[in-house]
Amino acid sequence: MRIPQHWANESFTGQDRDGKEQTFRAWGWSFESLRAARDDALARARRIFDCLVSGRRPESYEYLRQPLREEIVQSVQVGEKAVGVVTRNRYGALVLNSSSVLFADVDFPPARSRGLLDSLRLALSSARRAQRAQELRDATLDGVRAWVRAHPRSCRVYRTLAGLRVLFTDRLYDPVSAETRAILAELESDALYRRLTEQQQCFRARLTPKPWRCGCKTPPNRYPWPTPQAEQAYRQWERQYAEKTRSHKTCELIEAIGVPSPAEEIQAIIRLHDGMACDRPGTMLA
């Protein structure tokens, strides 16, 4: 998993080709120490400066390929091994990061009309729109079931607000393998999720609701906080978010397919995921 514990923001100042002074800042990270993160940040700021003055394309900047800057909230342990971590993402939701238990998100396709007459009928009938949406949801679920039959696996299928979440329970998977890329592509998992899986070298599943779906504002700032006051403001927002989202859950189990592996790593991820994403007092998905 590519989830650094230490982050720092540093700047580098130098002269460009015209002799003008330019300053660039960059985030650096480390798995070992804050000092190492600061050294990394300074080196990256220097490389960004060198990149600009040499005329390289912006797409080649190293800071565009950095791991996600998220606070680590909880570790998932199996014996001495860390098999996952819970982080808080940029808009404040908790996310499960799993080193080898495969998650795949499959979005429901948007409802499209089947011609002019159908378009008019959909526009004039909320019942028809609801029926069409249900047909698409059923077809998506049938597609996942058909894929599992064609590729004997075991999995748990959950309903989310916008689609399905498939948690594979047959065995462990490598998030950066060709096999994983093929599975996510065949299931038509979200393209951004597929890129993020490789970038972070882990599988991700959001555990708590998106704040705007629950009448909650987005956070006032981002981790890591530059001052104690900034962190205090964030923690206050965090308490408000927890209260606002209490009556919502992220997903609900539809069905379990096949015989799951008894591997403790898989069972530990299922327990944490279901406990935080499904087993909440509310019934509304968010």
Render pLDDT for 44-93 as a digit per residue (tens, 0 to 9).
899 888 887 777 654 444 444 689 999 999 999 999 999 999 999 999 99
- The answer to whether residues 51 and 64 touch, using CB atoms and an 8 Å cutoff, is no
- 3-state SS, one letter per residue, for 113-175: CCCHHHHHHHHHCHHHHHHHHHHHHHHHHHHHHHHHHHCCCCEEEEEECCEEEEEECCCCCCC
Q: What angle do CA 19, 57, 196 make, to 5 degrees?
A: 130
Higher pLDDT, 49 or 254: 254
How far, in Å, CA of 155 to CA of 142, rounded?
A: 14
pLDDT for 60 equals 41
**Token code pair at residue 97:** 């990061």
- The answer to whether residues 72 and 5 touch, using CB atoms and an 8 Å cutoff, is yes
Whole-angstrom CA distances from 72 to 4, 15, 87, 97, 253 are 9, 38, 4, 10, 26
DSSP 275: I
Amino acid letter for position 154: S
pLDDT for 117 equals 63
**pLDDT tens per residue across span 168-187:** 999 999 999 999 999 999 99
**pLDDT tens per residue across span 232-245:** 999 999 999 999 99
Q: Which of 227, 218, 236, 273 is nearest to 96 (CA)?
A: 273
**pLDDT tens per residue across span 33-49:** 999 999 999 998 998 88
**pLDDT tens per residue across span 203-218:** 999 999 999 999 999 9
* Domain ranges (residues) in the chain: 6-65, 71-217+240-285
pLDDT of 283 over the 80 cut = no
Residue located via tokens 């009556």? 247
pLDDT for 52 equals 77
Residues in the chain: 286
pLDDT of 114 over the 80 cut = no
How far, in Å, CA of 100 to CA of 265, rounded?
A: 9
| E-assigned strand segments in the chain | 6-15, 21-30, 71-78, 81-88, 94-98, 103-107, 155-160, 163-168, 203-206, 248-249, 251-257, 284-285
**Token code pair at residue 122:** 């959909």
pLDDT for 210 equals 96
